[in-house]
């Protein structure tokens, strides 16, 4: 039975004010939580530790790019509250669908940094097993994986699994058609999906004002019947609480949620970009003052949850992680030309086997693995 009448309102509109739990100075925010609970001390400490390590690995990856060890690296510096808060809010059985800027999120999920950076190092496209940590492959087309997230979440429901798919998107990607198809499919199917939009202000060089005329990116969920919220994306407590709530809702059958997290990309798009051409140093400075790690550190210290010793331990752990990454990256990447032919189909075709043999003849000798 079809009805032409609009559905009754489900309170989809995001509140006018950003949801936040901690302000720029690390003080608890009053009256802006929108019902989000402040995470407990253990969670906040874990968020802090993972953000410190994540940022250190991110700056290390940028340095490795300057040294020519990575072909390119899209930094997420400044976005650690999103990268870490959203991932730590996920349960083991949930799936992460990251974008190419979400390497810190992937490493936070437990993927080996070397395997995470394989795409950017260039020895293969995806270096990790997506099933091991339930992290979909990174790749450079935007928004396409949001549909994969919806399909995976829908399949989980059909199979009776308690799995929620968390689709990461950027502000630019919300202009792509696939984002809209994904929102619509997820809503119609009531799929267990969380759309997590990191609005970092720029799609390479194009600012949000040239990306959308909508009052906010969160408003894009409403037309599809998806409950949407806007949060301070530099507030790790708010990100964690919002994603946690959205995952709980999806898991309980309440359907998808869109979360717009306001944050800022401190670095240029990649090492190959010159951000000075499209934004001012003053703007960057204003966002540095809203740093997600500094604000959580202040809160934890004031609450007595973090002392100098603990902070030093975390800092040392981050240095160790960076040193390990540096050492492992200093070895030359191993590649096998035969692998180009191996995974195209389940079984190589006759034509592929022939071309592989031609390449090997050209290279002089079969690869050791093929002897």
Partner 1 sequence: MTATLAPITPRQLAAEAAPVSMAAALNRALADALEADDRVVVFGEDVGVLGGVFRITDGLATRFGESRVFDTPLAESGIIGTAIGMAMNGLRPVVEMQFDAFAYPAFEQITSHLAKLRNRTRGRVELPVVVRIPYGGGIGGVEHHSDSSEAYFTHTAGLRVVTPGTPADAYTLLRQAIDAPDPVIFLEPKRRYWSKQTGVLSADDPPADAAVVRRVGRDVTLICYGGMVATALEAATEGTAEGWDIEVIDLRSLSPFDDATVTASVRRTGRAIVVHEASRFCGYGAEVAARISEQCFHYLEAPVLRVTGYDIPYPPPLLEQHHLPSTERILGAVRRLQWDDNA
Q: How far apart are the first and last CA of the chain?
A: 65
The site map against partner 1 for 297-336 (x = CB under 8 A) is: ----------------------------------------
Degrees, nearest 5: CA angle 256-235-9:
30
Please answer whether residues 90 and 211 qualify as being in contact, where contact means their C-beta atoms are separated by less than 8 angstroms. Answer: no
Q: Which of residues 183-242 bind partner 1 (CB under 8 A)?
A: 184-185, 188
Measure the CA–CA gap between 239 and 89, rounded to whole angstroms.
8
* Residue 180 annotated to the active site: no
- The DSSP code for 202 is E
Quote the least distance from Cβ 343 to partner 1, whole Å. Answer: 4
> Which of these is catalytic: 148, 180, 219, 278?
278
Among 4, 209, 350, 365, binds partner 1 (CB under 8 A): 350
Among 49, 74, 153, 170, binds partner 1 (CB under 8 A): 153
Q: Which of residues 109-138 bind partner 1 (CB under 8 A)?
A: 124-126, 129-131, 136-137
Quote the least distance from Cβ 298 to partner 1, whole Å. Answer: 41
Among 148, 279, 301, 326, binds partner 1 (CB under 8 A): 148
Q: Does 342 bind partner 1 (CB under 8 A)?
A: yes
* Residue 278 annotated to the active site: yes
- Our CB check for partner 1 shows the closer of 210 and 342 to be 342
Q: Does 351 bind partner 1 (CB under 8 A)?
A: yes
Q: Give the 3-state secondary structure of residue 230.
A: strand
Q: Does 66 bind partner 1 (CB under 8 A)?
A: no
Which helix (H) or strand (E) is 95 found in, with range?
A: strand 95-97
User: 55: buried, middle or exposed (CB in 10 Å: 19+, 13-18, 0-12)?
Assistant: buried
Q: Does 338 bind partner 1 (CB under 8 A)?
A: no
Q: Does 139 bind partner 1 (CB under 8 A)?
A: yes
Q: Does 165 bind partner 1 (CB under 8 A)?
A: yes
Measure the CA–CA gap between 19 and 34, rounded to whole angstroms.
6
Backbone torsions φ then ψ of 39, nearest 5 degrees: -60, 155
> Which of these is catalytic: 55, 101, 134, 265?
265
The CA-atom distances, in angstroms, between 113 and each of 57, 60, 282, 323, 370 are 8, 11, 33, 12, 29
Task: Record the tokens describing residue 101, joined without a space.
Answer: 């800027």
Quote the least distance from Cβ 110 to partner 1, whole Å. Answer: 16
Sole window of 74-82, 156-164, 270-278, 314-322 interacting with partner 1 (rule: CB under 8 A): 156-164
* Residue 73 annotated to the active site: no
Please answer whether residues 292 and 20 qualify as being in contact, where contact means their C-beta atoms are separated by less than 8 angstroms. Answer: no
Q: Which residues pair with 259 in a beta bridge?
A: 196, 229
- Our CB check for partner 1 shows the closer of 109 and 295 to be 109
Quote the least distance from Cβ 277 to partner 1, whole Å. Answer: 29
Please answer whether residues 113 and 321 qualify as being in contact, where contact means their C-beta atoms are separated by less than 8 angstroms. Answer: yes
Q: Which residues pair with 194 in a beta bridge?
A: 166, 257
Measure the CA–CA gap between 180 and 176, rounded to whole angstroms.
7
Residues that bind partner 1 (CB under 8 A): 124-126, 129-131, 136-137, 139, 141, 144, 146-156, 158-159, 161, 163, 165, 177-178, 181-182, 184-185, 188, 339, 342-346, 349-351
Catalytic positions: 265, 269, 278
């Amino acid at each position: 039975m079809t009805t032409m009448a609009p559905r009754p309102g489900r309170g989809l509109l995001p509140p006018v004010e950003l949801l936040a739990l901690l302000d720029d100075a690390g003080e608890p925010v009053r009256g802006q939580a929108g019902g989000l609970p402040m995470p407990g001390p253990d969670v906040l400490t874990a968020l802090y530790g993972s953000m410190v390590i994540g940022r250190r690995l991110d700056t290390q990856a940028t340095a490795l790019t300057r040294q020519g060890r990575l072909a390119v690296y899209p930094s997420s510096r400044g976005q650690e509250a999103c990268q870490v808060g959203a991932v730590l809010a996920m349960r083991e059985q949930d799936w992460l669908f990251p974008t190419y800027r979400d390497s810190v999120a992937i490493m936070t999920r437990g993927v080996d940094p070397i395997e995470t950076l394989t795409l950017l190092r260039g020895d293969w496209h995806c270096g990790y097993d997506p099933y091991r940590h339930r992290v979909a492959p990174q790749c450079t087309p935007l928004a396409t994986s949001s549909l994969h997230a919806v399909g995976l979440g829908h399949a989980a429901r059909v199979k009776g699994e308690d799995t929620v798919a968390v689709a990461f998107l950027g502000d630019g990607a919300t202009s792509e058609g696939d984002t809209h198809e994904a929102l619509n499919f997820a809503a119609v199917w009531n799929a267990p999906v969380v759309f997590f939009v990191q609005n970092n202000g720029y799609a390479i060089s194009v600012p949000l004002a040239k990306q959308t005329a909508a009052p906010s990116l969160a408003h894009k969920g409403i037309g599809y019947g998806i409950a949407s919220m806007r949060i301070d994306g530099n507030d790790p407590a708010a990100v964690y609480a919002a994603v946690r709530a959205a995952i709980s809702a999806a898991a309980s059958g309440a359907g998808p949620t869109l979360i717009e997290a306001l944050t800022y990309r401190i670095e240029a798009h990649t090492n190959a970009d010159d951000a000075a051409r499209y934004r001012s140093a003053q703007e960057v400075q204003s966002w540095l003052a809203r740093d997600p790690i500094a604000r959580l550190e202040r809160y934890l210290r004031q609450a007595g949850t973090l002392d100098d010793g603990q902070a030093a331990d975390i800092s040392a752990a981050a240095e160790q992680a960076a040193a390990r990454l540096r050492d492992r990256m200093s070895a030359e990447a191993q590649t096998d030309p035969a692998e180009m032919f191996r995974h195209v189909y389940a079984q190589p075709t006759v034509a592929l086997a022939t071309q592989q043999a031609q390449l090997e003849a050209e290279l002089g000798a079969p690869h050791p693995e093929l002897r």
